[in-house]
Structure 1
Amino acid sequence: MATRSPGRSASSARCCRPVTSWFACIGPRVWRFTADDIRCWADVLRAEICTAGLLAPEALLDLALAFHHAVRDDVPGYAATAALLGQRAGGDYAYYADIAAFMTNRPALLRSARWIEDESTVPGRCRHLVLARRSALES
């Protein structure tokens, strides 16, 4: 069954498995997803979120995908996700685009938030999360 969410191409919005089969993945295999599995899982979640008409979970899904692409050093995947986050630049979740940029050690284009800590601490922490996860996956 193919699902399509707004703003996504048909090829990136294809779903590899029916929704019900995703629940079977929760168990010992959950940390062994391939890149295609992650994209399909995200497409299923995005379709359900869009159907429900919720904005916050979709923004959080995009941030989680940005983290995934940053850890995997998947530049095209990150660019696509960053574009989705950039579409929210004027909304309540605009700072997610800043966090995603920090995770990949890129400068935030908008600087949509004032952070409680100094300007260098937050990007460093975001980048550290990515590097720590990458290191854990390599070992």
Structure 2
Amino acid sequence: MSRYLKILAATLTLSTLAACTSTPLTPSSPQRLPPSSTSPSTTITPPGTAGAQGGLSRATLEAAGNACEKVVANAVKSRYPQPGSVMMMPDRERIYQQSATQAGVNGEGTFEPDASDEAMSFRYTCLFNTRTNRVDDVQMRY
């Protein structure tokens, strides 16, 4: 019986060590709530219709939307250190050309501050610089 316990202890030790050497989980990007069947998905204003010269490509506008969503999620997490889950609402997001070198994103999302509180909504406005591929400014309203 003692030999059985030694083998069991060795097996448990090895499995514990194997679990410690696994790769850490990477932070997840913000979740997107599925759009309802009656609401449109993200609105991307086609290049040239926002009054700016040159026109930004659809891919550039989509990159602006993705970058802004990440910055917005990080802003929520920095204001509320334990936000639970942050969810963006693609049916309430509008991506448009602000100027020749900027794209704008207006949108809404929700998050849960912690396990005991109800979900909170927020709105955001974001400016994405197409020359630097970085977010220049984010305004949040909770």
Larger relative contact order, structure 1 or 2 (CA cutoff 8 Å, min sep 6): 2
From the two aligned structures, give the one with the greater helix fraction: 1
From the two aligned structures, give the one with the greater strand fraction: 2
The alignment's TM-score, normalised by the length of structure 1, stands at 0.24
Q: Which has the larger radius of gyration?
A: 2
